[in-house]
Chains A and B, each alone.
Chain A
């Protein structure tokens, strides 16, 4: 293990929740509206990849409870294939972290700090995240602990205050074109539900492992509910216009006007978003750095945190020329990539492990004997 930190199962759940929902609230409604139209509100129900991801990562972790992800890849697939898969995994996480960072940057620059250069917004966020990541998994987990109540409270407050302005007829006719449009809208959402697979990297640090699966299912339920709620209120407020905004939920927060007293709540939404995006970038950055360190065979990941911070900032710039281009990539090429890396790769590893008999009967025994054998050969 590359980090000696220990977190609780509920902390892991909170980390995973905050590593998924911020961008799911921010950009997902606008993107999936183009597929689902007025059936957008139903799309999060088809969270197939989330269910598969939870089952796969808890299955894989049961086979190799104490080893990190890269080591698990090596133990299951063999030395060279495991090395290739591990390398692809951390490169993929670097790319996804770049996309997440860019989403944060575009939101801040596009909605609030319109004259600030993008690179200084990205750079300052990465610097703060790098300091947190250097602190280890426990620090990131405590940030999740700290920010989750504020995140949920502010999110629910905005939803509550917008209720008087909702038009229920925007979701009519309910399932007018059958069930298919809502399933098409769910296609893009599979990126966010697939992100539950990041729990694979966090599970080895969990001290009360028996509660981990329950915590993951609760997190999964929470994500589906949050997504349902945010899609639903965005659709009922904006109707056909949902697809036309880059950040529909921001428009919603701006729209709130209760007794001419509660106005301009986008400041609240920005608070939600900076807190949420901070934890989200931290978790993905942490996974990238520890994955890369394990892959390179380092004993400590801290020396490469700042070099990776530089790389991550550059990836944030490099992933796309502008926000429109990036949403296009998220809605098209990121979907098959995310399904491959979050679902297919763990599924193949799980299948290989089962065929080799690592998971059945003497579960821990065979896994451990393989580990010790590979250590002896090294």
Chain B
């Protein structure tokens, strides 16, 4: 039980530190590449197809 509670405390501390680090990084560079850019790069072929679909209609 005691060991388990430690696990929760460690998780909370690690997540808070991650949050603080991310906050500091965002203050330093608000335009830092984020998850959206990662997802965009991961699904590039599909994104190209979708962009074409909307471009044809509005063109």
Residues of B within 8 A of A337 (CB): 39, 42-43
- A42 shortest CB reach to chain B, Å: 15
Query: In this complex, what residue of B is CB-closest to A300?
Result: B8
Which A-chain residue is minimally distant from B8 (CB atoms)?
A: A303
Is the pair A334, B39 in contact by a Cβ cutoff of 8 Å? yes
Task: Decide if A332 touches B15 in the complex (CB within 8 Å).
Answer: no
Cβ B18 vs Cβ A311 within 8 A: yes
For A296, give the chain B residue with the smallest CB separation.
B11
The reply to whether B40 and A298 contact each other, CB–CB distance below 8 Å, is no
A332–B40 contact, CB under 8 A? yes
User: Which of chain B's residues has its CB closest to A330's CB?
Assistant: B36
Complex CA gap A334/B34 in Å reads 14
Binary interface encoding of chain B residues 19-59 relative to chain A, with 1 for a CB under 8 A from any of its CBs, else 0 = 11011001000111011100110110011001101100110
Residues A333 and B39 in contact, CB atoms below 8 Å apart:
yes
Chain A 207-226 residues near chain B, CB threshold 8 A = none
> Number of contact residues on B: which range applies?
20 to 34
Q: How large is the interface on A (under 10, 10 to 19, 20 to 34, 35 or more residues)?
A: 35 or more
Q: Which one of A43-51, A64-72, A263-271, A317-325 is at the interface?
A: A317-325
Flag if B36 contacts A320 (CB, 8 Å). yes
Instruction: Choose among B15, B39, B53 the residue that contacts A184 (Cβ–Cβ < 8 A).
Output: B53
Complex Cα gap A331–B14 (Å): 34
Q: Is A170 an interface residue (CB 8 A)?
A: no
Could you tell me the distance in whole angstroms from the C-beta of A367 to the nearest C-beta in chain B?
26
How many A-B Cβ pairs are below 8 Å? 101
Decide: A37 near B31, CB < 8 A? Known: A298-B11, A303-B9, A333-B43. no
Q: Which of A36, A293, A297, A335 contacts B50 (CB 8 A)?
A: A335
Contact of B57 among A184, A318, A326 (CB under 8 A): A184
Instruction: Return chain B residues, CB-CB under 8 Å to A243.
Output: 58
Query: Is A112 at the interface (CB under 8 A from chain B)?
Result: no
Beta-carbon contact of A333 and B23 below 8 Å: no
Q: Which of A324-366 contact B (CB under 8 A)?
A: 325-326, 329, 331-337
What residues of B have a CB within 8 angstroms of the CB of A329 in the complex?
36, 39-40
Q: A310-B16, A314-B23, A314-B26 are in contact. Are A34 and B8 (CB under 8 A)?
A: no
Q: Which residues of A contact B30 (CB under 8 A)?
A: 317, 321
The residues in A between 257 and 315 inclusive whose CB is less than 8 angstroms from any CB of B are 293, 296-300, 303-304, 306-308, 310-311, 314-315
Q: How far is the CA of A320 from the CA of B34 in the complex (A)?
A: 8
In the complex, which residues of chain A have a beta carbon less than 8 angstroms from the beta carbon of B34?
318-320
Q: How far is the CB of B47 from chain A (nearest CB, A)?
A: 5
Asked if residues B50 and A307 are in contact (CB atoms below 8 Å), the reply is: no
Q: Give the docked Cα–Cα distance between A37 and B59 (Å).
A: 12
Q: How far is the CB of B2 from chain A (nearest CB, A)?
A: 12
A204 to chain B: which residues have CB within 8 Å? none
A57 part of interface (Cβ distance < 8 Å): no
Measured CB to CB, the residues of A under 8 A from B are 34-37, 95, 98, 181, 184, 187, 243, 293, 296-300, 303-304, 306-308, 310-311, 314-315, 317-321, 325-326, 329, 331-337
